[in-house]
Structures are given as C-alpha cells and as structure tokens.
Chains A and B, each alone.
Chain A
C-alpha cells in the first residue's frame, strides 16, 4: 500500500524530504479544486510523509481547508465543487469514483475547522461511529470512549455527564470531543483543520501535546494560523498563498528549512511575520 516517493517520475511533487528517504502516505499531483467558476487552489503537488506532522500554513482563503477536504473526498458532499488532478494513497487514486469513500474516510479522518458534534449525548457522539463500524461489545465501547476522552484531556471535565447533550459543551470542549470522536476510530491519518483556533492556551497546549504524541502512530496534516505552533510541532511545512486569484502551493520542505532558509521571498516575509 505504501509507495516510495520515486514511484511517479513524470510529475515532480514538491518533496518535503530532501535529506533522507521517507515513505509517502498521500501524494497529490496537479490537484486543483473549483467552486463553480472560482478556483480555490490549482496545481498542487504535495507529498505527505508517513508518521510525521505536516503543517499547512498560509493566509485566510488560500484554500487550505478545501485542500484537506479533497484528501478524504469530503468534496463529494459539497455542491458545485469540481476536483481535478490525482490524489494517490498508496497505489490507489482516491479521486477515482470507484473508490468507496466511506472506507477511505475511515482511513483518513478529517476534523473540521468549526466544531460539529452530533446533537446526541457525549457518549453517543463517540459510540455511534464505533457501532457503525461493527463494534457491539458495550464494555469495549465504554473503554474506547474513556480512552479517547482521556487522550484529549476531556475525561475529567465530562465523566459525570456522559449522558448529557454534547451541544451543551463549550466551543473548546466540543472541538476536543470531535478530535476524540475521530481518534476512537483509529484512522491512519488525521487531517486537522485549525484544531486549536477555538481553544484557550491551556487546552490548546493539551491538544498540541496530544498531536505530538500521536505522531508516531498516525500521519498528521494540520492547518494552523499559529506559526509558533507550526514551528514547535511540525516536521514538514507547506505554505499556500493566493496568486492570480487562486490558491497555490508556494513552498514546502522540512520545518527547519522553511523557517530558517525559505526559498521563496513570500514565504520568507510570511514566516518572519512581515506579511500575511
């Protein structure tokens, strides 16, 4: 299932691994996305390495969220949204309509920018997807619910009210519940769209530590506006920018390289806080 970077010599993907050999989890080739006649981003060639944290940075509206949606075909649900190009997951081209999107989304889970818990109890929010994927044993479900809530630092806050509505939680708690819900399914990759944007510094650092601790078991792709956070946790950084009215990938590479020695002057200005 996992292929090396060199498997597709025809296109030159922006390779964030200049030094050592690294397996690619997912790779996009000339990926473009349009909403009606508005291009969200175009011609993005990017490889996401296995078991690493890749941070996606860039100004608002440059297509980061849209890019994440392509990677697990959530774009199928958005009306008038056209995707072109290739997204390779192992040997599969996941944009192929024959691929089962449900199986894909189990492997690649997306946590959206806006917390979106279901209008069910806290417990059911996590248990419903578990049951859907065939887990019937009540004790096992309880164990996973507790474990995933502990992982996101929410267990102590909600352990006495697991039967209460998830909508009664605060915004930050909802966001962590959504992360817990995705973690409970044990996907291979997690796509996190600004997971800390609604959180206070303390829970933000809880989530940040969580993300770092997940790194060896999962492939993580995280969108963040917080460059300090990207600097702290990311192994690789990809920088998007709006050029000619559409988002483009202007630079990617290892975190040290992008922050210390950016190739593009725009990136340099952005990471040094001059623009964006």
Chain B
C-alpha cells in the first residue's frame, strides 16, 4: 500500500518537474517510511488524566447544581414580595424575613466598614512598606494565615467575651459585625496584599523616575491595578461573613424583631435558617425560602464583583 503510493507520487512529481521549486528526491520504494504512523486514536492510558479531570469537573458542577436545584425546588414556592417584606410570625413558621434581611445587612455593613479600611491599610503596609523577607512582615503574614484557619466558633467565643462582655456591647449587631470583621480580616489582607504584589515593579520604577510621590503612585497606579485582587478578597470575605452562623450565635443573638439600632440584637439569615430547620418543627418551608434568598444574594454579589473586575481589566 505504502509502496504503491510512493511510486505513484514520484510519477506525479516527475511529470510536472518543471514547476517544482524544491528539489525533491523521489521516495525510494525500498526504504521504510521515516514518519511514525499516526494512530487514529491515542492509546487508552493517555486518556486517563483527561477522563479524571472531566469526571472531577462534572462532579463539582453536579454537586453545586444539585444543592442549588434542591433549594430552588423547595424554596421557590415560598418566595414572594410578602415574604421579603413582612416580619416572621409564629417563630418563623409563617410570615416573612424582613427584619432578618435588615439585620443581616447591618451586620455585614458593620463588618465591612471596619474590615475594609483596616484590611487594605494593612495590606498596603505589608506589600509596599515592609521588605518581603523582614521578620516583621513574616511574623504578620504567618499570624494571618493561622488566624484565617481558626474555626469560627472560636471567633464567636472571643467575640462574646471581648465585644459583648468586656466592651459591654452585649448581644448586638455591633458585636456580631465586629466579630465577623475579625474573621474576614485575614482573608481580606492576604488577598489585597497578593493583589498589590502582583502589580509589576516596572510601574513603581517608572513612577519613581518621573518623580511621583509614593502616595500618588499608590492611589493612582498601584491600587487601581490591584482592584481585581481586592475584589476577590472582598467576595471571599463577604461569602464567609454571610454564611457565618456559629460566631453570630454568640454575639449578635437570636432576636427576630426589626432592629432599631446597632446596639439591638439581630438575627442573621444563616441563623434564621439554622433555627427554623433545627429548633422549629414545621419551619422547613420558610427555611428553604430563606436559604434561597441567601444563595441568590451570594450569587448576586459574586456576579457583580466578577462583572466589575472584568470591566476594570478591560478598561486598560
């Protein structure tokens, strides 16, 4: 078969040899083809990594879809304008989640208002004003990594002792927000720092050689360039704060009335879900409804952040 082809080809070539630019030697029919045969399908063993990767990806996506699907399936019927705007009745079996949404928003607000400036400031200090290998930088970084891994219940106990009792804030939205701020700070600082470090050093050199001050360099060049990194940290932080239950039980409390001030106790969404499904018989429907609201909120925040990061990256 191969021999025949070679012979045919060499005949074709010799026929129109006047138009050939390249000197091509006619394939000798005796010598074997120098090219390795290309088999139509790769050997089965090399498919294994591909299959594994695909299987894992499918598994992850399927799990996510299942959870979300389940929540939507059970919770979609409950969701209505009523549900979002009325107070819970009968320990939450009936009625809506308005005060809980407000309390969640307030707790998150307190948490971010404290942790964002503190976190970004610390990140700037670590990334721009401390050498990478100084003992101070290493100490702070190591402590943050340990802190990021501390279980939330421990933060809850700490918040209860320190904010609620020592500072006398009691069970309040303020205590809860501050405790959450302590929890998300390590995440915020580390990702903001990574974001700043990822900014090419060329910008700093160029700015310095044009006589820009460090403040201008930071505000006009480094922070804008680090925004996508900051957003990643922010989303992770908000995710952790919104999902938090254990730490809030000890600090912001259970009360499901509409909070009047930051010193009032307030029930966060995650606690409401926990309470309805564990402590209130017949509360499952509303628990699913609240869970759906929580998931949708998180997805919205995630999506918005991704959108902003994307816009930002394409701006320049």
Identify the A interface with B (CB < 8 A).
72, 74, 76-77, 79, 101-103, 105-106, 109-112, 114, 116-121, 128-129, 132-133, 165-167, 178, 181-182, 185
Provided the pairs A106-B211, A181-B210 are in contact, do residues A116 and B203 lie with their beta carbons within 8 angstroms?
yes
Determine whether the beta carbon of B211 is less than 8 Å from that of A132.
yes
In this complex, how many residues of chain B approach chain A with their Cβ under 8 Å: the count is 23
Determine whether the beta carbon of A185 is less than 8 Å from that of B210.
yes
**In the complex, per-residue mask of B165-203: 1 if CB is within 8 Å of any chain A CB, else 0:** 000000000000000000000000000000000001111
- Give the distance to chain A from B223, nearest Cβ to Cβ, in Å: 12
Determine whether the beta carbon of B202 is less than 8 Å from that of A116.
yes
B211: chain A residues at CB < 8 Å are: 102-103, 105-106, 109, 129, 132-133, 185
- Give the distance to chain A from B126, nearest Cβ to Cβ, in Å: 15
B131 within 8 A of A: yes
Quick one: closest B residue to A165, CB to CB? B316
Identify the B interface with A (CB < 8 A).
131-132, 200-213, 216, 220-221, 224-225, 315-316
Determine whether the beta carbon of A72 is less than 8 Å from that of B316.
no
Determine whether the beta carbon of B216 is less than 8 Å from that of A132.
yes
Determine whether the beta carbon of A119 is less than 8 Å from that of B221.
yes
Quick one: closest A residue to B225, CB to CB? A119
A165: chain B residues at CB < 8 Å are: 315-316
Determine whether the beta carbon of A77 is less than 8 Å from that of B208.
yes
In the bound complex, what is the Cα–Cα distance between A182 and B208 (angstroms)?
12
Determine whether the beta carbon of B205 is less than 8 Å from that of A102.
no
A114: chain B residues at CB < 8 Å are: 202
Determine whether the beta carbon of A112 is less than 8 Å from that of B209.
yes
A109: chain B residues at CB < 8 Å are: 209-211
In the bound complex, what is the Cα–Cα distance between A178 and B210 (angstroms)?
10
In the bound complex, what is the Cα–Cα distance between A173 and B79 (angstroms)?
57
Determine whether the beta carbon of B212 is less than 8 Å from that of A129.
yes
A178: chain B residues at CB < 8 Å are: 206
Quick one: closest B residue to A166, CB to CB? B316
Determine whether the beta carbon of A132 is less than 8 Å from that of B213.
yes
Determine whether the beta carbon of B206 is less than 8 Å from that of A118.
yes
In the bound complex, what is the Cα–Cα distance between A242 and B216 (angstroms)?
39
In the bound complex, what is the Cα–Cα distance between A67 and B206 (angstroms)?
17
Quick one: closest B residue to A130, CB to CB? B210
- Give the distance to chain A from B143, nearest Cβ to Cβ, in Å: 23
In the bound complex, what is the Cα–Cα distance between A109 and B220 (angstroms)?
20
Determine whether the beta carbon of B316 is less than 8 Å from that of A128.
no
In the bound complex, what is the Cα–Cα distance between A72 and B200 (angstroms)?
21
Quick one: closest B residue to A119, CB to CB? B316
The 5 residue pairs across chains A and B that have the minimum distance between CB atoms: A116-B202, A106-B211, A116-B206, A110-B209, A119-B316
In the bound complex, what is the Cα–Cα distance between A203 and B206 (angstroms)?
22
- Give the distance to chain B from A208, nearest Cβ to Cβ, in Å: 22
Determine whether the beta carbon of A77 is less than 8 Å from that of B316.
no
- Give the distance to chain A from B311, nearest Cβ to Cβ, in Å: 13
Between B131, B204, B216, B316, the greatest number of chain A beta carbons within 10 A of the residue's beta carbon is seen for B316
In the bound complex, what is the Cα–Cα distance between A155 and B211 (angstroms)?
24
Provided the pairs A79-B131, A102-B213, A132-B216 are in contact, do residues A118 and B207 lie with their beta carbons within 8 angstroms?
yes
Quick one: closest A residue to B212, CB to CB? A132
- Give the distance to chain A from B142, nearest Cβ to Cβ, in Å: 21
A105: chain B residues at CB < 8 Å are: 208-211
In the bound complex, what is the Cα–Cα distance between A146 and B182 (angstroms)?
51
B200: chain A residues at CB < 8 Å are: 116
In the bound complex, what is the Cα–Cα distance between A101 and B209 (angstroms)?
9
- Give the distance to chain A from B265, nearest Cβ to Cβ, in Å: 47
Provided the pairs A105-B211, A128-B212, A185-B210 are in contact, do residues A118 and B315 lie with their beta carbons within 8 angstroms?
no
- Give the distance to chain A from B208, nearest Cβ to Cβ, in Å: 6
What are 20 pairs between A and B in contact, CB < 8 Å?
A: A74-B208, A74-B209, A76-B208, A77-B201, A77-B204, A102-B211, A105-B211, A111-B209, A112-B205, A112-B209, A116-B202, A116-B203, A118-B203, A118-B206, A118-B207, A118-B221, A129-B210, A132-B210, A185-B210, A185-B211
Determine whether the beta carbon of A128 is less than 8 Å from that of B220.
yes
B204: chain A residues at CB < 8 Å are: 77
B315: chain A residues at CB < 8 Å are: 165
A119: chain B residues at CB < 8 Å are: 203, 221, 224-225, 316
Between A102, A111, A181, the greatest number of chain B beta carbons within 10 A of the residue's beta carbon is seen for A102
B216: chain A residues at CB < 8 Å are: 128, 132
B201: chain A residues at CB < 8 Å are: 77
A102: chain B residues at CB < 8 Å are: 211-213
In the bound complex, what is the Cα–Cα distance between A182 and B216 (angstroms)?
17
A110: chain B residues at CB < 8 Å are: 209
A74: chain B residues at CB < 8 Å are: 205, 208-209
A133: chain B residues at CB < 8 Å are: 211
A185: chain B residues at CB < 8 Å are: 210-211
Quick one: closest A residue to B313, CB to CB? A119
In the bound complex, what is the Cα–Cα distance between A167 and B200 (angstroms)?
13
A116: chain B residues at CB < 8 Å are: 200, 202-203, 205-206
A111: chain B residues at CB < 8 Å are: 209
In the bound complex, what is the Cα–Cα distance between A111 and B201 (angstroms)?
15
Quick one: closest A residue to B206, CB to CB? A116
A106: chain B residues at CB < 8 Å are: 211
Determine whether the beta carbon of B316 is less than 8 Å from that of A167.
yes
In the bound complex, what is the Cα–Cα distance between A215 and B38 (angstroms)?
64
In the bound complex, what is the Cα–Cα distance between A174 and B213 (angstroms)?
23
